[in-house]
Amino acid sequence: MLVNQQQYRTIWASVCDGLHTVHIIDQTRLPHVFEVVPIYHFDQMIAAIKTMQVRGAPLIGAAAAYGLALAMQEDASDISLCNAVHHLIQSRPTAVNLAWAVQRVRQVILPLPLQKRFQAAWKEAALICDEDVILNQAIGLHGLSMIQQKQQSHTIHILTHCNAGWLATVDFGTALAPIYAAHNAGVDVHVWVSETRPRNQGASLTAWELSQHGVPHTVISDNAAGHLMQQGRVDMVIVGADRVTAKGDVCNKIGTYLKALAAADARQQGHEVPFYAAVPSPSIDWAIENGVGHIEIEERHADELAWMVGRLASGEIASVRVLPEGTKVENPAFDVTPARLVTGIITEHGIFAPHELKGIQQKIKNV
Ligand code: MRU
């Protein structure tokens, strides 16, 4: 996607004079500073994932795949492989894409002689990145048809939460892919961007990438979403997902569940507000049926609530404390929206009601 009119992916690799480097966009600095950071070592990649320099389910999968490759460059032994897999999977536990990508690379390299493991892992990581782009483009096209069907004479107002745009993936995004496709096709779309406390991925990242691409949008506080739906000012909700269960429960950024509840109530009051999750197949965990209680919800550090990062009038980027000293904090990073509140799951194979997901499991697995 575009940054200052230049085409970027969120992660890419280079080899120069035998030096293998992974390049990432540091998302902790956006929207104020656009900075590309080189990653040379496994430990650096683990830190980038944990501190959320890279974030978003598909992107942390791709980053973890490269992380495993870097670990193999440093030490390709079975013990090193086992350790690297363990540490990567623990680094961010909720998004299934991370474990999926790590296991995929592991399976490819495990049978190989040690001296071949690094190159094979590097190649597989690149493949995962390329595939992610293709899956998201397909999601975009299916979502576009759905938006076009909905279009009447007025602007289509789509509400999204967190950042499930190109920054959360290798390119195009999941929830934002249909929006970009619609905008590019000349459909009159406007996006309600929910700020997404505590880390503000909506306000900082979604608003930034939509403005880079020229898509009309308005940031709202998280708490305003229900009010807008009740007023009939939202035509549909599209969110991403960190893990979707076999029966269609959607685990996504904390606050998603409240949006789905508000959309369900708005529907009961006669407003047509369908709730969609845009989900590439690596985000589906076929081993879990019920999301509530069965998906590990990452608990993030209290500082994310206690402090806010922003740019001062002087231009300096700073953190300011917003809670009284010593205040107790709980900071779950994700929640689960039960399938009964989900209108449809937009996948690379088409759009399905949650109960239809199982019917496409074999198809998805075979691709
Ligand atoms: O904690 P984050 O910022 O990694 O969480 C990201 C989200 O919840 C996204 O909405 C989700 O990963 C979907 S990404 C396409």
Q: How confident is the model over 131-182, as pLDDT tens digits?
A: 999 999 999 999 999 999 986 778 999 999 999 999 999 999 999 999 999 9
- The pLDDT assigned to 367 comes to 54
Same domain, 104 and 184: no
In a domain, 353, yes or no: yes
What CA–CA distance (Å, rounded) separates 46 from 119? 20
In a domain, 60, yes or no: yes
- The pLDDT assigned to 135 comes to 98
Residue to mutate, 26, 208, 252, ligand 1, most ligand atoms under 8 Å from C-beta: 252
Is 291:338 a contact under the CB 8 Å cutoff? yes
Same domain, 113 and 193: no
Same domain, 218 and 341: yes
In a domain, 147, yes or no: no
- The pLDDT assigned to 2 comes to 85
Kindly provide the b/e burial profile for residues 245-258, where b requires at least 16 CB atoms within 10 angstroms of the residue's own CB.
Answer: bbbbbbbbbbbbbb
In a domain, 341, yes or no: yes
Tokens representing residue 366 in the block? 């075979």
- The pLDDT assigned to 1 comes to 82
**Residue span of the structural domain in which 110 resides:** 2-132
Nearest to 67 by CA among 44, 93, 100: 44
Same domain, 102 and 204: no
Residue to mutate, 253, 259, 299, 346, ligand 1, most ligand atoms under 8 Å from C-beta: 253
In a domain, 143, yes or no: no
What CA–CA distance (Å, rounded) separates 276 from 224? 19
Domain CATH number, residue 81: 1.20.120.420
Nearest to 280 by CA among 159, 123, 124, 173: 173
The residue from 84, 102, 132 where one domain ends is 132
What CA–CA distance (Å, rounded) separates 184 from 328? 46
What CA–CA distance (Å, rounded) separates 184 from 36? 27
Active site residue 242: yes
Same domain, 253 and 107: no
What CA–CA distance (Å, rounded) separates 11 from 168? 10
Same domain, 117 and 157: no
Is 296:366 a contact under the CB 8 Å cutoff? no
Bridge partners of 12, per DSSP, are 23
Same domain, 197 and 104: no
Instruction: State the total domains in the chain.
Output: 2
What CA–CA distance (Å, rounded) separates 171 from 173? 6
Same domain, 104 and 238: no
- The pLDDT assigned to 64 comes to 98
For the chain, residues with pLDDT lower than 70 are 151, 364-367
Contacts of residue 66, defined as CB under 8 A and 6 or more positions apart, other chains included, come to 11, 13, 22, 39, 45, 122, 125
Q: What are the angstrom distances between the C-alpha of 302 and each of 221, 253, 306?
A: 21, 16, 6
What CA–CA distance (Å, rounded) separates 199 from 202? 9
Same domain, 221 and 338: yes
In a domain, 81, yes or no: yes
Same domain, 162 and 45: no
Contacts by residues 263-266 (CB-CB < 8 Å, ≥ 24 positions apart): 263/229, 263/234, 263/237, 263/341, 264/341, 265/226, 265/229, 265/230, 266/229, 266/230, 266/232, 266/234
| Ligand 1 geometric centre to CA of 271 (Å) | 27
Same domain, 180 and 308: yes
Domain CATH number, residue 265: 3.40.50.10470
Contacts of residue 366, defined as CB under 8 A and 6 or more positions apart, other chains included, come to none
In a domain, 232, yes or no: yes
Tokens representing residue 99 in the block? 């474990």
In a domain, 137, yes or no: no
- The pLDDT assigned to 362 comes to 76
Is 251:241 a contact under the CB 8 Å cutoff? yes
Look-up of token digits 């998004």: 95
Pocket of ligand 1, beta carbon within 6 A: 55-58, 95, 162, 164, 168-169, 174, 201, 240-242, 252-253, 333
Same domain, 107 and 200: no
| Ligand 1 geometric centre to CA of 95 (Å) | 8
Q: Are strands 189-194 and 19-25 parallel, antiparallel or unpaired?
A: unpaired
Look up the pTM and report it: 0.97
- The pLDDT assigned to 366 comes to 53
- Of ligand 1's atoms, which has the minimum distance to the CA of residue 334? 8
